[in-house]
Amino acid sequence: MTRATGFSRFIHAMWKYKALTLMMLPAVLVLLAHSYLPMFGIFIAFKNVNYIDGIWGSPWVGFDNFKFLFSSGDMWRIVRNTLLYSLTFMILNLVLSVSIAVAINEIRRRFLAKAYQSFIILPHFLSMVVVSYLVYAFLQPDHGFINATVLKAFGQDAVFWYSEKEYWPYILVFVNAWKHAGFGAVIYIAAIAGIDPEYYEAALIDGASKWKQITNITIPFIRPVIIIMTILSMGSIFSSDFGLFFQVPMNSGALYPVTDTVDTYVYRALMQLNDIGMSSATALVQSVVGFIMVIATNSAVRQIDREQALF
């Protein structure tokens, strides 16, 4: 096989499959505009952008933006919040989703199982703006359901929810689980539905208890799905659901110590402080950490079991 024939083969393949390649063109253009162009835009993190010189003409400042970010003291706070929330959400949602999926599979009456499923995936379809309204209906200081009905019934004083920061870690974890656990369960329900019932029959003949069946058949079978979902969510460990942290606490300044995450910080640095350099430095750190996390998690999985790695 000489190079020439290799090259002419390539040309031949190009020509033979030109229709398929052309089909992909529109999406390729979208990916270029929306994903690849911004990747080249990361150099902004190394510039001191000002509007007089424009993006291209602004002076290079090396790692100054990063120095400023790490010395500002905000960094520690937003990194701590982001990582702790991400990890908590990931673990809690995984446990809840798998539990719900396993439990719903044990409901004898099919129509009931379907009805429960409809209710628990409903929150997934509501936008974070709507969710912030729902939360507001409960927490509004003067008339909210919690203050006006629940606390009143117990003779307690009203709590000013939107300015008391100690409650918010719990509120945010609850809202996140409320919104996502049901939808996550659907994916595992689908995986469980694909398990051959013969395994369970064999286990019954051996006298295995329900618990044994779950731990020895169901969980091992849905493990690949759990692993893929975990690898994917590892990539966003350093990102947060902007809507949850910005919208639901109503961007209330008193709550920043516990609600400020990398994303809300970047947004505020960009939109309110107009600090392009620092916000793009933060965003770059975020992307790089996400990238490293995916690669690391995936290679960890590869070490354990080659088959189950994503790539």
Partner 1 sequence: MANDSGSRIGGISVASSMILNIAFVILSLICFLPVLLVIIVSFTDGQSILTQGYSFVPDKWSLIAYESIFKDFQTILSGYRVSFTITILGTALSVLLMALYAYPISRADYPFRNAFTFFLFFTMLFNGGMVSRYLIYTQVLHIKDSYMALILPMLIVPFNVIIMRTFFQTTIHPAVIESARIDGAGELRIFLRIVLPLSLPVLATMALFSTIGYWNDWFNALLYISSEDKYPLQYLMMRVLNDVQYLRNNVELAAQNPTMMKNLPNESLQMAMAVIGMGPILIAYPFFQKYFVKGLTVGAVKG
Report the residue from 251, 268, 302, 309 that binds partner 1 according to the rule CB under 8 A: 251
68 binds partner 1 (CB under 8 A): no
Comparing CB distances to partner 1, the nearer of 95 and 190 is 190
Report the residue from 19, 154, 303, 307 that binds partner 1 according to the rule CB under 8 A: 19
The 8-class DSSP code of residue 45 comes to G
Q: Which of residues 131-160 bind partner 1 (CB under 8 A)?
A: 132-138, 140, 142-145, 147-149, 152
How far is the CA of 156 from the CAs of 143, 146, 149, 169, 239, in angstroms? 14, 11, 10, 22, 38
Contact 89, 176 (CB under 8 A): yes
4/280 Cα distance (integer angstroms): 46
The 8-class DSSP code of residue 60 comes to B
How far is the CA of 177 from the CAs of 89, 99, 116, 123, 246, in angstroms? 7, 13, 16, 10, 17
101/99 Cα distance (integer angstroms): 5
Comparing CB distances to partner 1, the nearer of 148 and 309 is 148
7 binds partner 1 (CB under 8 A): no
CB of 73 vs partner 1, minimal distance in Å: 21
199 binds partner 1 (CB under 8 A): no
Report the residue from 176, 233, 286, 297 that binds partner 1 according to the rule CB under 8 A: 286
CB of 176 vs partner 1, minimal distance in Å: 14
CB of 48 vs partner 1, minimal distance in Å: 14
92 binds partner 1 (CB under 8 A): no
